[in-house]
């Protein structure tokens, strides 16, 4: 009797990707017959391209991924349910793009045979004929002309060829797209394309096309991909104003989940938009894909942003994590972007939304010995944070945020003093005390001749900076200057809310109207100053402007968590028990991005007496403290345009800025750590 043959594992790139295909098919609960067909299609389309070691670089093909790997997973989270989706390129590495194009045409016909669908004659006779160049005119700069998307569910398997449109003048590309729609008999879609071209064609040109192949050989959905020269929010806003204006808040959520700092344009090719015409629909839908790795450096941050986006859109976060686990993409790498490549937000004709996440296959990496950093508790983290703040001073105060008007000082110093006001009695806190006293004296000296405080002494007073300064003084038992309280009263509006600036200050607009985040901080300051009536009116305003889930929108900040934290601090017992429960539900679902939002999230949960949630938030902060004792900064402060009243609903509402010196974020985390200490039980964090 011969011994059983041992199956040797396939350690090539094909073997790695095949294993992930099986795991993802299991997660998606595909029937075995469907899995077998999917395996055959996978083998057909990737034959040759993946027969190599699973280590970059992957030269010789085009660049579906930055390192040349000719395969990409596409996770879809939305109403359609679980699926297995991927993109791939056919052909042998090292052969010419023209030769691989011929191979791809052959593989497409073979894949249609495997799927038992009609040959793609309409695709060849209409789409290829209109879009692809003659063999003699093949563009020298093309790395690929044709690649594929495959999507499998329990109901069936779809095939979507992609075509390169990146040749010729922009007007010629628009015309080629129009001829496809004309040849397909979609006159209504063609008319809509012509109408849209007058609205969005400036600095927009087609770069690619994709079509869904129907079982009987016809063409289903048609997608046209566009890019721009200058990549900024205004370009994206112009597209959505023309096509789907009601979806601007969702697109704003997409951009804010993967925030970019400053007024400069995004990196080249950061955005791709696609018009999508479904069969029978003259009105297209619109999809946006972000090449977020061009400004976000790690998978951990990309996972956090994706999680935030799904939560904001009401989509199932657990589906995303389930797919990541199936692909072996967790835990997410905190140091670099190894898997995540693009994040897309799309809309269906029925108004539903979906998020696509495009990932490289997770590749094996040799184990590298790493010294485990000692696990630090909140007490040690707080000591290190205070040491950072001591050394981060600019003379006798703190500075941070570089806006067009300069670097903030008065406002940042007041913020830091507020969040370091209630330190536990430790040796490091005693070392910090002289810095606090010097900063309070400095803050007192730089009160402007107009009576209050400002972003820095050379710009007009504002209610937010003045309120924070009053809170900082009150924590040391110092009264609020009468002129500062008068400035706050001049910012009170008839609706009871508080504006950022008095009415007479430029530039006017929404900057002199009530906003929730400023009102909440001012309500506390007015109460401490003895103006109970103004505080009560501010609280009434805050109760009226809550969102449906019980949170508050932020005018000057990327996320609602800032205004929500500030409102909770101001509310006292003004919220009814049912309101508190609704708010806690919303905060439990909320997925903070970055240390600043996580710190505010922890403080909110503490105020709502969710000790377990508060401790989890603080634990995540302990994992991200930097060696110098600070926490990473990220773009969070929105310089909303004065004409914009509701920035959370607009794509181009104003640039975001990060606290480049990391003082502001670190002070917020100190506040979260000390709030945990003050609320701790006898088995608490500081002992």
Residue 67's pLDDT is what?
84
pLDDT at 366 exceeding the cut of 80: no
Share of the chain above pLDDT 70, in %: 96
Average the pLDDT over 377-386 and give the result: 96
**Residue 165 domain boundaries:** 13-185+290-329+336-359
| Whether residue 388 sits in one domain with residue 354 | no
Whether 14 contacts 53, CB under 8 Å: no
Whether 205 contacts 173, CB under 8 Å: yes
Residue located via tokens 């950093």: 373
Q: Would you tell me how many other CB atoms lie within 10 Å of the CB of residue 185? A: 10
Residue 348 lies in a domain: yes
Tell me the C-alpha distance between 618 and 605, whole Å. 11
β partners of residue 277: 222
pLDDT at 124 exceeding the cut of 90: yes
| Whether residue 384 sits in one domain with residue 355 | no
| Whether residue 504 sits in one domain with residue 425 | yes
Whether 240 contacts 275, CB under 8 Å: no
Which residue stretches of 329-401 are H helix? 378-391
Tell me the C-alpha distance between 355 and 77, whole Å. 5
| Whether residue 319 sits in one domain with residue 444 | no
Query: CB under 8 Å to 641, separation ≥6 — which residues?
Result: 509, 647, 653, 654
Per residue in 34-92, pLDDT (tens digit) is 999 999 999 999 999 999 999 888 888 887 888 889 999 999 999 999 999 999 999 99
At how many degrees (to 10) do helices 170-183 and 187-200 cross? 160
Q: Would you tell me how many other CB atoms lie within 10 Å of the CB of residue 380? A: 16
List Cα–Cα distances, 4 to 1, 532, 649, in angstroms. Answer: 9, 85, 65
| Whether residue 351 sits in one domain with residue 399 | no
Average the pLDDT over 671-677 and give the result: 91
Residue 226 lies in a domain: no
Q: How many CA atoms lie within 13 A of 480 on its CB side?
A: 25
- For the chain, count helices (H), then strands (E): 23, 14
pLDDT at 331 exceeding the cut of 70: yes
pLDDT at 174 exceeding the cut of 70: yes
The two three-digit tokens of residue 318, written as one number: 């657990």
Average the pLDDT over 222-236 and give the result: 96
The two three-digit tokens of residue 256, written as one number: 């804010």
Per residue in 290-325, pLDDT (tens digit) is 999 999 999 999 999 999 999 999 999 999 999 999
Which residue stretches of 285-342 are H helix? 299-312, 317-326
Residue 240 lies in a domain: no
Query: Confidence band (pLDDT; 50, 70, 90) for 410?
Result: very high
Q: Indicate the average pLDDT of the chain.
A: 94
Query: Can you give the pTM of this predicted structure?
Result: 0.93
Tell me the C-alpha distance between 31 and 507, whole Å. 63
Q: Whose CA is closest to 34, among 24, 25, 21, 47?
A: 25
Query: Confidence band (pLDDT; 50, 70, 90) for 461?
Result: very high
Residue 224's pLDDT is what?
98
Residue 8 lies in a domain: no
**Which H or E element spans position 403?**
strand 400-403
| Whether residue 418 sits in one domain with residue 351 | no
Per residue in 489-522, pLDDT (tens digit) is 999 999 999 999 999 988 899 999 999 999 999 9
Q: Whose CA is closest to 442, among 416, 422, 460?
A: 416
Whether 472 contacts 489, CB under 8 Å: no
| Whether residue 542 sits in one domain with residue 481 | yes
Query: CB under 8 Å to 267, separation ≥6 — which residues?
Result: 231, 291, 294, 295
At how many degrees (to 10) do helices 317-326 and 299-312 cross? 150
Say which CATH number the domain at 655 has: 1.50.10.20
Residue 64's pLDDT is what?
84
Q: Would you tell me how many other CB atoms lie within 10 Å of the CB of residue 255? A: 22
- Per-residue DSSP letter, 127: I
Query: CB under 8 Å to 197, separation ≥6 — which residues?
Result: 174
Tell me the C-alpha distance between 631 and 595, whole Å. 6
| Whether residue 617 sits in one domain with residue 489 | yes
Residue 325 lies in a domain: yes
Residue 517 lies in a domain: yes
Torsion from C-alpha of 546, 549, 550, 553, nearest 10 degrees: -50
Share of the chain above pLDDT 90, in %: 88
| Whether residue 316 sits in one domain with residue 435 | no
Residue 376's pLDDT is what?
79
| Whether residue 406 sits in one domain with residue 348 | no
Tell me the C-alpha distance between 555 and 566, whole Å. 12
| Whether residue 387 sits in one domain with residue 350 | no
Query: CB under 8 Å to 56, separation ≥6 — which residues?
Result: 67, 68, 69, 363
| Whether residue 311 sits in one domain with residue 446 | no
Tell me the C-alpha distance between 181 and 197, whole Å. 14
The two three-digit tokens of residue 48, written as one number: 């040759």
Tally of domains within the chain: 2
pLDDT at 8 exceeding the cut of 70: no
Residue 123 lies in a domain: yes
């Amino acid at each position: 009797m011969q011994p059983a043959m041992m199956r040797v594992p396939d350690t090539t790139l094909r073997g790695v990707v095949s294993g992930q295909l099986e795991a993802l098919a299991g997660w998606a609960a595909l029937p075995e017959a469907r899995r077998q067909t999917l395996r055959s299609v996978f083998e057909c389309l990737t034959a040759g391209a993946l027969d190599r070691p699973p280590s970059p670089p992957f030269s010789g093909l085009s660049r579906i991924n930055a390192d040349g790997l000719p395969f990409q997973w596409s996770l879809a989270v939305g109403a359609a349910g679980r699926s297995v989706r991927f993109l791939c390129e056919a052909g042998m590495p090292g052969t010419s793009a023209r030769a691989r194009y011929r191979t791809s045409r052959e593989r497409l016909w073979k894949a249609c045979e495997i799927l038992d669908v009609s040959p793609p004659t309409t695709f060849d006779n209409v789409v290829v004929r209109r879009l692809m160049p003659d063999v003699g005119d093949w563009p020298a700069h093309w790395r690929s002309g044709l690649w594929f998307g495959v999507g499998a569910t329990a109901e069936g398997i779809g095939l979507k060829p992609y075509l390169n449109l990146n040749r010729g003048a922009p007007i010629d590309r628009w015309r080629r797209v129009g001829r496809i729609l004309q040849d397909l008999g979609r006159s209504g879609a063609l008319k809509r394309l012509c109408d849209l071209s007058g609205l969005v064609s400036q600095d927009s040109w087609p770069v690619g096309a994709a079509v869904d192949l129907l079982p009987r050989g016809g063409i289903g959905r048609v997608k046209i991909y566009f890019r721009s020269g200058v990549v900024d929010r205004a370009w994206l806003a112009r597209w959505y104003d023309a096509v789907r204006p009601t979806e601007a808040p969702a697109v704003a959520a997409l951009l804010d989940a993967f925030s970019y700092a400053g007024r400069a344009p995004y990196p080249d090719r950061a955005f791709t938009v696609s018009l999508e015409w479904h069969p029978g629909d003259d009105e297209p839908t619109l999809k946006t894909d972000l090449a977020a790795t061009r400004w976000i450096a790690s998978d951990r941050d990309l996972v956090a942003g994706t999680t935030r986006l799904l939560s904001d859109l009401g989509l199932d976060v657990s589906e995303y994590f389930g797919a990541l686990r199936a692909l072996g993409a967790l835990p997410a790498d905190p140091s670099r972007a190894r898997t995540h490549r693009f994040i897309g937000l799309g809309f269906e004709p029925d108004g539903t939304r979906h998020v696509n996440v495009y990932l490289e296959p997770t590749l094996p990496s040799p184990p590298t010995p790493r010294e485990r950093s000692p696990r630090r508790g909140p007490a040690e983290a707080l000591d290190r944070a205070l040491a950072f703040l001591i050394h981060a001073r600019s003379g006798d105060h703190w500075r941070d945020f570089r806006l067009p008007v300069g670097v903030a000082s008065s406002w940042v110093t007041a913020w830091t003093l507020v969040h370091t006001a209630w330190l536990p009695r430790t040796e490091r806190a005693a070392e910090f005390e002289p810095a606090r006293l010097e900063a309070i004296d400095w803050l007192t000296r730089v009160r402007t001749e107009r009576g209050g405080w400002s972003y820095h002494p050379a710009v007009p007073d504002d209610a937010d900076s003045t309120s924070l300064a009053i809170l900082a003084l009150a924590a040391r038992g110092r009264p609020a200057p009468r002129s500062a309280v008068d400035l706050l009263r001049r910012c009170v509006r008839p609706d009871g809310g508080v504006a950022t600036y008095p009415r007479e200050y430029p530039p006017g607009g929404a900057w002199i109207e009530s906003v929730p985040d400023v009102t909440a901080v001012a309500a506390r300051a007015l109460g401490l100053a003895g103006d109970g009536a103004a505080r009560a009116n501010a609280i009434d305003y805050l109760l009226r402007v809550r969102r449906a889930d019980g949170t508050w929108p932020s005018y000057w900040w990327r996320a609602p968590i800032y205004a929500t934290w500030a409102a909770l601090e101001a509310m006292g017992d003004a919220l009814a028990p049912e309101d508190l429960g609704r708010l806690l539900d919303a905060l439990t679902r909320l997925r903070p991005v970055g240390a600043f939002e996580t710190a505010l999230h922890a403080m909110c949960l503490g105020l709502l007496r969710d000790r377990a949630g508060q401790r989890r938030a603080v634990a995540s902060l302990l994992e991200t403290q930097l060696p110098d004792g600070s926490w990473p900064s990220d773009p969070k402060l929105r310089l909303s345009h004065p004409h914009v009243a509701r920035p959370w609903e607009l794509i181009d509402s104003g640039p975001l800025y990060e606290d480049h010196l990391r003082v502001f974020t670190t002070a917020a985390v100190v506040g979260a750590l000390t709030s945990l200490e003050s609320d701790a039980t006898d088995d608490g964090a500081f002992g």
